[in-house]
Amino acid sequence: MRDLDGKGVIRSDFVLLHGDTVANLQLLPILEYHRKLQKQDKGAAMTLLYKETGLRPKSHALEEETVLGTSTATGRVLFHQKLSHNTKKINFPLEMFLDEPEVQLLYSLQDTDICICSPAVPPLFSDNFDFQTRDDLIRGLLVDDEILTSTIYWYKLKSSEYAARVKNWPIHDVIHRWAYPLVPDLSLDNSDDPYIFLRRHVYRQRSATLCKGCDLEEDVVLAKGTVVGENTQITRSVIGQNCRIGKNCDIADSYIWNNVVIEDGCCVKFSVVGEGCVLSQGVHLKDGCVLGAGVIIPPVQSFLGLRIVSHSITELKKIGPKAVMVLAVNKDVDSEDEQEGPRVSGLTLVGEEEGEDSSESSEQLSTSSDLSYRASPVPDDTSLFFNEVMDSLSRGYDDKLQCDNLVLEINSSRYAYNVSVQEVNYHVVRALVSLPSPDNYWGQLRMQLGYFLPILVNYIRNQQAQEDCLQALEEVATSRKELRDSLLKLLHLLYEQEILGEEAILKWHSSPDLDDPAATPLRTTVEPFIKWLQEADEESD
């Protein structure tokens, strides 16, 4: 958006959507509705598109649920919040009900992630560096509507219209014909072998071959040239072209790409098998296995959550009584050394059964993306950003500067040093708890937090930001005794001010870093507050 704004290529209303969107709606009436709103409200920046979910609990439950508060008279969006599955309560701003004669609270809507935007939207991203996503923009406009002078409206699609993103595997909306006329049997490519639509949402091209006793239960797409062997069961799965599936196989909740060979007795559940893969006899893939193109699995192997991207034959090496290591044999045709041995290229270690912990070799080869901030040295730009945040907060408190101006300073520093949103949340909290001097630490911190509360509200907005905040508190508390002694009171204060939620605090408390010897003792110091939270939760239940 910032790049588009810098080039000045957008000069009229435009449609903002993701590349994985599937829709059968008519956009022209929606654009006309948006332009009508602009005539009534010069600040109308966006119109959000929603679909009534009706009696569709399955797909609705799998996605982030959205609660919408709107003005009944104007259709203006007053409240917008996406809920996680663990959300127990929602806090509505009181002014929303005081300023409007009648407010609608809507929970039965599916967010299509499509919106009509005015030309004022790209400059909003340029002027507000903390806007990274569409949801950030919506949240910012609703929180700071008086400052940004921009408003948001909503539009409900007709019952015959459909729009959604392809964000998870099991929804099967196209197979269930919610996107009609975008359905497999429509033959948009004018194929001479169209799909046949059968009962229980089974689609099969005529050239696909079904042997005796095989069963296509429900929600199955079977492409041309594919052969399914005797007594094989397939349910809630998509099978590509020219696949060879053997006898007595069980395939469920999976996607099989073109030219895949699945030999007799295989079981594939909740998995994705790439083009040209070969599953030898008796292979079991379960619980989120993903195979890239050309992977070959030897006979009688079982995998849970395996991830392989390979174009060559794979080998298995025993590394323990219940564990194997998957090796990709990559021969470099340009290499002079043709005797180069197998390499491990970011492959995960998998066990034949769930149970015992991995051996030392598995620990050395296992990888993790959940590195803490202290697991690697802080880059120079990040250190400079933290120093500038410290300087801005210290100067702002001494000179009693407006918090809105300090937020602008922090955002400018963040943009200058190319710091991520999570790092901003982390270092802002880290700076706040690092400001007070050791003498009367808690008294100073409480006064400073009262002054800087708008800054915390600005940055600690969601579950991820709360986790960043707690990580920063733990980081500083492990090295600074004053904060460690005050952590219980600080968590209680942040909870009362609704900066930290009960869910985030309990999650942090229950998941200490076992590699950090200070993590468990630190949580012991706040145990009385945790017990109070749990007892309060039980009483509310």
Distance between CA atoms of 252 and 51, rounded to whole angstroms? 29
- Asked whether residue 475 falls in the same domain as residue 524, the answer is yes
Classify 111 in phi/psi space as left (phi over 0), alpha (psi -120 to 50) or beta: beta
Q: Are residues 349 and 464 in the same domain?
A: no
* Residue 377 belongs to a domain: no
139 and 23 in a common domain: yes
298 or 538, higher pLDDT: 298
DSSP secondary structure letter of residue 192: S
Segment 205-218 mean pLDDT = 91
For residues 416-433, average pLDDT = 89
**Does 59 reside within a domain?**
yes
Is residue 99 helix, strand or coil? helix
Q: Are residues 138 and 237 in the same domain?
A: no
Give the per-residue SS3 of 335-353: CCCCCCCCECCCCCCEECC
The number of beta carbons lying within 10 Å of the beta carbon of residue 153 is: 23
Residue 243, domain member (yes or no): yes
pLDDT of residue 64: 62
- Secondary structure string (H, E, C) spanning 362-386: HHHHCCCCCCCHHHCCCCHHHHHHH
Tell me if 375 is assigned to some domain: no
Q: Are residues 415 and 488 in the same domain?
A: yes
CATH number at residue 489: 1.25.40.180
Mean pLDDT calculated for residue range 235-246: 95
| Model-wide pTM > 0.75 | no
The pLDDT tens digits of the residues spanning 397-414 come to: 988 889 998 998 898 888
pLDDT at site 79: 92
- The token duo for 494 is 């942040």
We report the CATH number of the domain holding residue 271 as 2.160.10
Is the model's pLDDT at 370 over the cut of 70?
no
Tell whether 379 is covered by a domain. Answer: no
pLDDT band at 371 (very low <50, low <70, confident <90, very high): very low
390 and 265, same structural domain?
no
Q: Which residues pair with 104 in a beta bridge?
A: 70
Phi then psi for residue 400, to 5 deg, are 55, 50
Q: CA torsion sign, 124 to 130 to 133 to 134?
A: negative
**Mean pLDDT, rounded, for 455-461:** 91
Query: Is 445 a domain residue?
Result: yes
Once rounded to an integer, what is the mean pLDDT over residues 462-468?
A: 91
Q: Mean pLDDT over residues 62-70, rounded?
A: 77
Range of 140's domain? 2-165
Instruction: Provide the sign of the torsion angle of the four alpha carbons 479, 483, 489, 490, taken in this order.
Output: negative
Specify if 464 maps to a domain: yes
Cα separation of the two ends of the chain: 45
d(CA 73, CA 95): 16
Whether pLDDT at 281 is above 90: yes
Q: Quick one: 195 and 333 in the same domain?
A: yes
Domains contained in the chain, number: 3
Helix (H) or strand (E) holding 412: helix 403-417
Same-domain status, 403 and 516 = yes
φ/ψ of residue 260, rounded to 5: -95, 140
Strands (E) across 90-175 are located at: 103-106, 109-117, 151-156, 163-165
pLDDT value at position 412?
84
* 296-349 residue pLDDT tens: 899 988 888 888 875 444 455 544 444 444 544 443 433 333 333 333 333 333
With a cut of 90, say whether residue 267 has pLDDT above it.
yes
User: Do 438 and 505 fall within a single domain?
Assistant: yes
Asked whether residue 176 is domain-assigned, the answer is: no
Mean pLDDT computed over 464-474: 91
Q: Is there a single domain that holds both residue 147 and residue 231?
A: no
The predicted pLDDT at position 310 comes to 59
Average pLDDT over residues 209-231: 93
The yes-or-no verdict on residue 100 having pLDDT over 50 is yes
Chain mean pLDDT for the chain:
81
Same-domain check for residues 320 and 440: no
Same domain (yes/no): 339, 415: no
**Confidence band of 357 (pLDDT split at 50, 70, 90):** very low
d(CA 1, CA 17): 12
The answer, yes or no, to whether residue 429 has pLDDT greater than 60, is yes
Of 165, 193, 215, the last residue of a domain is 165
Report pLDDT for 148: 65
Residue of higher predicted confidence among 37 and 521? 37
Distance CA 468, CA 124 (A): 25
Q: Which of 115, 138, 165 is the last residue of a domain?
A: 165
Strand order, beta sheet including 77-83: 77-83, 65-71, 103-106
Report how far apart, in Å, the C-alpha atoms of 273 and of each of 73, 83, 289, 296 are.
51, 32, 8, 11
Q: Which of 165, 200, 233 lies at the terminal end of a domain, its last residue?
A: 165
